[in-house]
Structure 1
């Protein structure tokens, strides 16, 4: 039995469609990331599951039970929002105990379960502090502890890391991975616009755009073999370059023509020789060198230093813009000069079309 199932769930605000006919299923113990840009419908989907929004159409099921008409407090879910929403006038213990007291748990049960979840998130020594006395990462841990105290079958995380700095975000990703291992029967739905978070934390990723589900699948599979141009560009920042399929191999390989280059590519669906397609090329799979060395002719139009290397913006002759990542600028011409670009074999093919 699934932990969560949505059947054709839609949410409309007047003429505005915030979510359009979403079908989704999350297994017990699975972590699913809802990934997409702002306005894609991912947070709306989470609110429909939590009961904060009443669907305009479709049904919401939790553990096989239709909960579409149930209010949030009767769904038994744990929810962590971006702002953490801790009660500022309550100490940590009372914040975490709030849901248990609302369910009229006994004093001993409250003490035992609050202590248990504070230990689980590494905050056992902070039970008497107020939220204002905690860092952002510590507040996040308390928000998660409060959500877990009621032992929910489903934990909903709505952009829980977006307010944290980069270093603390990395620490919290590791913390969430540890927490997931400690809760093998809890389904987690994690809303994020950050592809790194989604790839690190999720068993599966659901990519959303314009209120609709675009693609869904195992995280590694979606990254390595994206089934659409949008997923290729959004999940991994792939350059989308037009190619012609020359030959299809017996397995998943194909030979393609990109400008003056002939390359081996990985197919992600049905492809035919002579077909126009799009090659999804991650920035690190482009090599940039002096034009005399060959490759695709291009112009270097932008350079950004990123600490561990450089991001190069290129204009490929006849092919359009592309982005590359290099570790050093040694041997490369100055900004505005001509360069040559080569592409690694094994990049995935996706159906032609689709905006980046």
Structure 2
């Protein structure tokens, strides 16, 4: 099957600044890919190269097997939704949604039918005659989504579409996007975000980016449970990275931590350098000190509504984070338990 989207060795430079470095990435038809990374990682630049808003300094961009690197944005047939909504304030909702169709000289009758169809699809049919200023932020984002869908794009690009919304609206819009994805199974989605929760909930596959480069890519559950790099382990799920001594590099591997021997799952090429266990905060056990636990002190406590977040200092000097149902006073001596089977990653990857 011909891929829906391809970046082939795409680099983008602004003077001496590298905004994107030799990106090689493919997205299949009907697949939802999340480009995930911190600010400045290159994820939005990759999306802009795909949309045609910036031209690659090197490499080529393909849509449906066709080289579109030199094609202007309006001839790429893409739907684009951005963080700021970008609605025309002087146009009513229906006219905003019809804008792309009008630009393509779609017959008036067909335009009206499609506008009504996509507004109903995003639950905004009754707001067709309102102006953007009369809508909430979530409603405006739904209109922006309807406008992108009205042209029936094969590929829909979403650049941080929920980051300007409050927490409740983000949850509502995420549910809306999940529903739309189910109703449009042949539409390819490329979703840019720095929010790992959005990426894990919506995407089939995640591409993790850092410092303008692709770090690794894979199915969501694989990257969460078996990250192949130190950066992915810490960024996706906020894992504690605890240095350990490698005793045996088999599968499973055996490691030593503070006098205890644990099994671990190697997730990538470890190399000759130091290694660390990637331990999610919710998997860290905290209780009374004992022979089978690691001694630690509670340095900070935060109530998180459903439980408590503890910052702990191990006797080895390492600081780790735990999520537990009960609080421990700051300064309390506790025992920390780490389960077998945590992912083992090379430090510096």
Q: Structures share a fold, TM > 0.5?
A: yes
2: CA distance between counterparts of 1:257 and 1:353? 20
Which residue in 2 is equivalent to 1:336? 331
1:125 Cα offset (Å) = 1.0
2:282 equivalent to 1:284: yes
1:167 Cα offset (Å) = 1.6
Give 4+ residue runs of structure 1 displaced > 4 Å after superposition: none
1:254 Cα offset (Å) = 2.4
Which residue in 1 is equivalent to 2:71? 70
1:344 Cα offset (Å) = 1.7
Which residue in 2 is equivalent to 1:17? 18
Which residues of structure 1 form unaligned runs of 5+? none
1:199-278 alignment to 2 at 5 Å? 199-248=200-249, 252-270=251-269, 276-278=274-276
2:253 partner SS: strand
1:105 partner SS: coil
1: CA distance between counterparts of 2:157 and 2:315? 46
Contact 2:270 2:345 in 1 (8 A): no
Contact 1:302 1:312 in 2 (8 A): yes
2:107 equivalent to 1:106: yes
2:70 partner SS: coil
1: CA distance between counterparts of 2:288 and 2:167? 35
1:261 Cα offset (Å) = 2.0
2: CA distance between counterparts of 1:245 and 1:57? 41
2: CA distance between counterparts of 1:18 and 1:104? 36
Which residue in 1 is equivalent to 2:144? 143
Contact 2:42 2:209 in 1 (8 A): yes
2: CA distance between counterparts of 1:49 and 1:308? 41
Report Cα offsets for 1:144-194 as digits up to 9, x if no partner: 100000011100000001011112211111111110011111110000000
Report Cα offsets for 1:20-65 as digits up to 9, x if no partner: 0101111110000000000000000000100111111111111111
Contact 1:259 1:319 in 2 (8 A): no
1: CA distance between counterparts of 2:201 and 2:279? 21
Contact 1:243 1:257 in 2 (8 A): yes
2:4 partner SS: strand
1:349 Cα offset (Å) = 0.9
2: CA distance between counterparts of 1:67 and 1:4? 10
Report the CA distance shift for 1:60/1:299 in structure 2 as closer, same or farther (over 3 A): same
1: CA distance between counterparts of 2:172 and 2:259? 45
TM normalised by structure 1 equals: 0.94
Which residue in 2 is equivalent to 1:152? 153
TM normalised by structure 2 equals: 0.96
1:244 Cα offset (Å) = 2.2
2: CA distance between counterparts of 1:153 and 1:196? 25
Which residue in 1 is equivalent to 2:340? 345
